[in-house]
Amino acid sequence: MEAKEAEYQAFDIAVVGAGPGGYVAAIRAAQLGMRAAIIEKQHMGGICLNWGCIPTKSLLKSAEVYQSILKAGEYGLDVSAGDVDISRVVQRSRDIASRLSGGIDYLMDKNRIRVIRGAARLSGPGELEVCEAGVVTHRVTAPHIILATGASPRVIPGMEPDGEVIWTARDAMTPARLPESLLVIGSGAIGIEFASFYRSFGTKVTVIEQLDRILPQEDRDISRAALGYFSKRGIDFFTGGTVESLKVENSAASVTWKTASGEYRGTFERVILAVGVTANTAGLGLEEQGVRLERGQVVVNEWCETSVSGLYAIGDMTAPPWLAHKASHEAVLCVEKIAGQPDLEPLDPLGIPACTYSAPQIASVGMTEQQAQAESIKYRVGRFDLQASGKAQVIGQTEGFVKTLFDEETGELLGAHMIGPDVTELIQGYVIARKLESTEEELSQTVFAHPTMSEAMHESVLDAFDQAIHS
């Protein structure tokens, strides 16, 4: 039923969803002189800011500090770790998310972007209707509409989250107490980050991965090393595993799973499902408008335009990788294309860095060695272990290495893969190098400060061409 007072407004551009893709698109549109509106039914900043990227990193930082206190004796310091107050750990993460969400509201006001609260639906070419509590409150028209509604955690039939024993990522971010035992199903970045967080505070953690290795999107050497480091921390892994049954009884989960080596059973206080995401496309009216979907995701061209002229989609509702920084980059690219900006370049998927904020951290960009082999590229590999890094020795974190791949003929940097302390910060050096089309010669001749962790990057480059100094 439509309310009589439904408001009608026309804009140059309308954005649906205020996550890291949506709000960036609205701001860039405003900067380019467009009259912009953004429609959001929940929180400014979307899942990433409120229930994903930001709060999880706060939790992981608390875990890192706790582990540093436990190891204080190695640095000649006599410190008592004390007790973990998980409620304060969680509250800190929620406070940070709240502050940043409020910051998005400020940016909307600053850029004179109209914020419309409610759920949007395409009602015709260049038209949206916005509903609250089932009532149409606004009708919006715009020649350009950008969809940025993100994605939700994928659910396995028969293992539906109940918020008590079976958790989604959101549940895992706000525990009332630390469970004694935890099963994580899935070993991508999200699963590994939660496994690392809970293990840091003493929870017994088991991880089941359906594929033959953990972190399957990473280079195989990184996956292998990560398995060793995490296992050393006391996390149990079962790769090539399939969950056969999961039953919730007496506030715990009884689980049976199989691997190539046999069948296993276990009882866990909590279970986290970390098996990917599903695009948030339901209720948007996509099918009625003729928008093409593949495997539940919106199909777009290199400028983020859908099969319907004037309708665009960015971020997690499109093809992977599903990363906040990809969504933000697509937002700017899409809006600048709409505005007719010159000399634009489509987004190169291989130029998107991937980061896992576990302990140790993992980061990568470009091709894996396996991808280079599959494409029959002649390449050279360089590697530098952090055991030989002076700075790694100083900070007491020597587990890890840097691996680089170069085209043997041209010297092009094909890919970089890192595991160790703060590599999620270091990876940007390689991202910039790839964007500037730097060769091994230029990187080899670049001066790296000493002593720093970044020296490991230099040594890895040198090693690829048999010039390494410290290994």
SS3 sequence of the chain: CEEEEEEEEECCEEEECCCCCHHHHHHHHHHCCCCEEEEECCCCCHHHHHHCHHHHHHHHHHHHHHHHHHCHHHHCCCCCCCCCCHHHHHHHHHHHHHHHHHHHHHHHHHCCCEEEECEEEEEECCEEEEEECCEEEEEEECCEEEECCCEEECCCCCCCCCCCCEECHHHHCCCCCCCCEEEEECCCHHHHHHHHHHHHCCCEEEEEECCCCCCCCCCHHHHHHHHHHHHHCCCEEEECCEEEEEEEECCEEEEEEEECCEEEEEEECEEEECCCEEECCCCCCHHHHCCCEECCEECCCCCCECCCCCEEECHHHCCCCCCHHHHHHHHHHHHHHHCCCCCCCCCCHHHCCEEECCCCEEEEEECCHHHHHHCCCCEEEEEEEHHHCHHHHHHCCCCCEEEEEEECCCCEEEEEEEEECCHHHHHHHHHHHHHCCCEHHHHHCCCCCCCCCCHHHHHHHHHHCCCCCCC
Dihedral class, residue 82 (left if φ above 0, else alpha if ψ from -120 to 50, else beta): left
Active-site residue (options: 329, 450, 458, 470): 450
Please indicate whether residue 450 is annotated as part of the active site: yes
Question: Would you please indicate which residues are annotated as catalytic (active-site) residues?
Answer: 450
